[in-house]
Structure 1
Amino acid sequence: MTSADPAPSSAHPPAVTVVGIGADGWDGLPAASRTALLEAQVLIGGPRQLELLPPDCAGERVAWPSPLRPAVAGLLAMHRGRVIAVLASGDPMFYGIGRALTEELGTPAPDGDPAGLRILPHPSSVSYACARLGWPLEDTEVITAVGRPVARLAAALHHGRRLLVLSAGAHTPDEVAHLLREHGYGPSPMRVLARLGGPTESSTSGTADTWDQPPTDALNVVAVECVRAPDTPHIGAVPGLPDDVYEHDGQLTKRHVRAATLGALAPAPGELLWDIGGGSGSIAIEWMRTHPSCRAITVERDPVRAERISRNADRLGVPALRVVTGRAPAALADLPVPDAIFIGGGLTAPGLLDACWDALPEGGRLVANTVTLESEALLADRYRRHGGELVRLAVAHAVPVGGFTGWRQAMPVTQWTVTKPSSVMGDHR
């Protein structure tokens, strides 16, 4: 115990203490954590965690129900006025229950506050895994499959990168190996580390191409050293992915225009995009690939294309992309407020531009692309009314001309980009 992490006084224990515990159980806990558990009148945790506690922890034991998150507020209210200790696996603030508790109770109070939330972390499975592997933690990317699709891993696949996948269960390693093979990373070495920090810790190694290990313990982490097969296309980390990585029927914002469009949209961590007229989903997908916390909703009226967008999103590692099948602007009703809007189709639909402008908050960005004169006239009118930037993007590709080479011009794209001003400033005239 250090002076920065004192054990609570038995006279004034915090109302709620979150205690991280590892596979080594009671023996691996520091004095402050043991004291909190011994003083608790109510002990809340998963059945496996509660079983790690000795009889000396005499508080009432309450197992989390499933689903867990909706039950948090009710359980805390049920035991209000009593001293509560909540058990968490490893570090409670790393994909753990700590987040839900801070959302309900606020940030931790200073030590000694009898009404406050206190968090006592234990080394996370990621810390243990990096220690076993000799991998610097700051250079290792972590993807969780707990409550999330393994398909998210696809966005992190880059040759030479080291990844740790937090498993949802015993079969996650098989799912990871299958995904690596499907995406051309079959040569990647894999190592499954189970029950990290406990007396029965184990490790299993192989490559994705040859992975045939039996299911291991549900508490495991999958380590991957990404190795791209020689014939696998290179997919970079910035917008402007090759057109052929998308399944499409021709309705696709082409690579160079797509890169310019994402540059204009300027995605930032945590932001939400509306992608209207999704086509193949390329703008929304590459918006989400810029950062794991970026979110997007794509609106597509054609059900066949909507299904295709979902397949593209899964294959490119952003399965959380929300696809709304319907016609804009009607389909925009009740969607959460966007930080940015892209209109790639349907500009001439009555009321669409007005609905998008009204939905955009102050400081929000709107980008619209078109190749038709009719839609271009609409954008020119909005440019006069609201300002922003109106540009024409032209791309030409070199093609054979007899025995020589010439340029073939693609249809030019007119693009309007604008940031919505504050109401104090008003519209540009």
Structure 2
Amino acid sequence: MSSDTPGTDASPVTQTARRAREAAAELAPLPRTARDGALLAVADALEARAAEIVTANGDDTAKARAAGTPDAIVDRLTLTPERIAAIASDVRDVVALPDPVGEVVRGSTLPNGLELRQVRVPLGVVGIIYEARPNVTVDAAALCLKSGNAVLLRGSSSAYASNTALVGVLRDAVAGAGLPADAVQLVPGESRESVKELMRARGLVDVLIPRGGASLIRTVVEESTVPVIETGVGNCHVYVDELADIDMAVDILVNSKAQRPSVCNAAETVLVHAGIADAFLPRALAALTEAGVTVHGDEAWQRAGADVVAATDEDWGTEYLSYDIAAAVVPSLEAAVGHIRRWTSGHTEAIVTRDAAAARRFSTLVDSTAVMVNASTRFTDGGQFGFGAEIGISTQKLHARGPMGLPELTSTKYVVTGDGHTRG
């Protein structure tokens, strides 16, 4: 696709992407004060127009209930005045974060006198494809604007009315603050075709970030011609080493699994060294049962508890996102690492041990975005890492890996300054 001026012959999605391209060019050179001013206007507008947003959201939640959508999903879809106020507060928090644009990553004076600087610059046009939660609409837009990017938002059809209302508020606020309104756009259409068009808008969209379930992420990664930052699927493991403190291990396991089981950094498998299994399994089973967790275990776990469900290969590869966990006893740390290498999604793994050498070996051998030593898997999060906010957790290795804050929404360019230098 070309990136020329929008034409009447282009599809609505293509025209939207072209307008975003033009807006990105206007946005990139603006100072931090302009971008922060727009974000403060966004926060104020969200609160001022909360009733309008709640009304639109009511249409979505009514349709969801009529379709028999589970209560937990309806709750994630629901916006209330209190939730909108919290979203506005989050936007103000983004304003307070350091500005990544223009940061000098490295710089030096070369032997020939040329001054070399590598500086952070916006990615350009960022497309976000996401499911259900309309708060992501505002979160993603705020982070993209803060980092100088135009954003194309493609939420699920279940939140279409909510997202339409939210983007209307965002665009009005951004334009009122003197920034191009097309820096924030909702991708038109509710069909899969509009998603496919966005995924194929190479040359107009610089990067796509999918946020949602495994099926959504796999589809975007496999079918997109636009570069994709793969995020979020979390088949996370907790390994309890032979020299673990049992009280600590039980606490970390239960927190990793049950503190909030529906998120990508919740543990889905626990592996226990055979040398500590007899002491640990009864304690762990009692604590997991009290937390409402169903254990899908191997023979050792089944012998330890009558309510343990027999595990299958499907369990080892499952991201439950529920009060379920797969469980196995392993003969060694190396066996635990081997299991993780086979089944992990590359998100987060944890080891519980008092042996510093075992912790170092586990951390070295495990190849995931985050390795926790004597800490819950639930800490893999931009807010918990002190980044202030995140647009997702990348499980790939190029450009960004792990929780993605503002710096990960930038690229870099080299600025080379000479004094009439020519190359001989």
More helix by share: 2
Q: Of the two, which has the highest radius of gyration?
A: 1
What is the TM-score normalised by the length of structure 1?
Answer: 0.30
What is the TM-score normalised by the length of structure 2?
Answer: 0.30
Compare relative contact order (CA 8 Å, sep 6+) and give the higher one, 1 or 2: 2
